[in-house]
């Protein structure tokens, strides 16, 4: 089945899966804000698991029980609209070990050829640039990032190792300190805005989401909720860090039911926007 059911906003209606998140027109939304639009996306089990223990250095991987091709299509539709995609030092370490899903070179996959064309039609570069968040700077830069004219930016802290900063600047791209001991979300987004980025997609995980939320710079949350409970230890949710004070309030933006997802088990495609 190639359709999903939009439950919110009314009226309830059948929509095509392909194009669902392209229709959110995040580039237009950023233009209307007149400042950068920052958004992220997670796929989660009903009990809130976004990662389970796996064979990676970080010890955790996105659960194969909930990741699926229909959610992956929507991940690409979000990524294709971005000026820059945020990733993490942890992701590049796992990437080097071959243990993680490809998020750096997505539109080379023939199944996403229509998205590659969409990007060209918008007059955008073939792939968004990449911003890596890392305190340790302990990761290799994959060759794929150094070809194709993409810009690589690395955001770190004032405490980062000077020698490693120089190495990365020579081999990969600009290294920018945006925090004393920890990357600060507001300084990160200001720096990206200063470099001309307006549509900013965080494809990183729960710690990066926390720093964006704590700084009040996350505008949209996209959440796929698979109709499946997993349990398991340790518990990995999509926000990780100290209590958010005040809490971050969100409005439901859209809700769609994907009855065909997960081989007919079903899943919800939810999107939220930050309350003013």
Q: Which residues sit at the interface with ligand NAP, rule CB under 6 A?
A: 42-43, 50-51, 58, 60-62, 88-91, 133-136, 138-139, 157, 182-183, 204-208, 211
Least Å from the CB of residue 130 to ligand NAP: 13
- Residue 3 or 206: which CB sits closer to ligand NAP? 206
- Residue 13 or 159: which CB sits closer to ligand NAP? 159
- Residue 140 or 148: which CB sits closer to ligand NAP? 140
- Residue 53 or 125: which CB sits closer to ligand NAP? 53
- Residue 72 or 257: which CB sits closer to ligand NAP? 72
Least Å from the CB of residue 217 to ligand NAP: 13
Cα radius of gyration rounded to whole Å, the chain: 18
Least Å from the CB of residue 140 to ligand NAP: 11
Residue number, nearest CB to ligand NAP: 89
Least Å from the CB of residue 52 to ligand NAP: 8
Least Å from the CB of residue 78 to ligand NAP: 11
């Amino acid at each position: 089945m190639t359709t999903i059911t939009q439950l919110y906003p009314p009226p309830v209606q059948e929509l095509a899966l392909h194009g669902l998140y392209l229709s959110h027109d995040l580039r237009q939304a950023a233009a209307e804000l007149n400042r950068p639009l920052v958004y992220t996306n997670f796929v989660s089990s009903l009990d809130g698991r976004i990662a389970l223990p796996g064979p990676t250095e970080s010890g955790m991987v996105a659960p194969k029980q909930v990741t699926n091709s229909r959610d992956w299509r929507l991940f690409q539709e979000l990524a294709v609209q971005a000026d820059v995609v945020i990733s993490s030092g942890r992701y590049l370490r796992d990437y080097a070990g071959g243990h993680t899903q490809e998020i750096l070179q997505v539109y080379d996959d023939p199944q996403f050829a229509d998205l590659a064309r969409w990007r060209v039609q918008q007059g955008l570069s073939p792939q968004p640039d990449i911003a890596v968040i890392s305190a340790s700077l302990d990761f290799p830069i994959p060759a794929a990032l150094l070809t194709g004219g993409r810009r690589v930016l690395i955001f770190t802290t004032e405490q980062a190792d000077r020698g490693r900063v120089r190495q990365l600047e020579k081999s990969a791209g600009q290294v920018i300190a945006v925090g004393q001991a920890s990357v600060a979300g507001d300084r990160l987004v200001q720096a990206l805005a200063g470099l001309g980025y307006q549509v900013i997609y965080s494809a990183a995980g729960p710690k990066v989401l926390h720093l964006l939320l704590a700084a009040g710079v996350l505008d949209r949350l996209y959440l796929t909720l698979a109709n499946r409970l997993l349990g398991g230890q340790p518990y990995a949710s999509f926000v990780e860090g100290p209590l958010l004070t005040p809490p971050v309030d969100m409005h439901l933006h859209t809700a769609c039911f994907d009855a065909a997802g997960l081989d007919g088990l079903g899943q919800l495609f939810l999107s939220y926007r930050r309350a003013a």
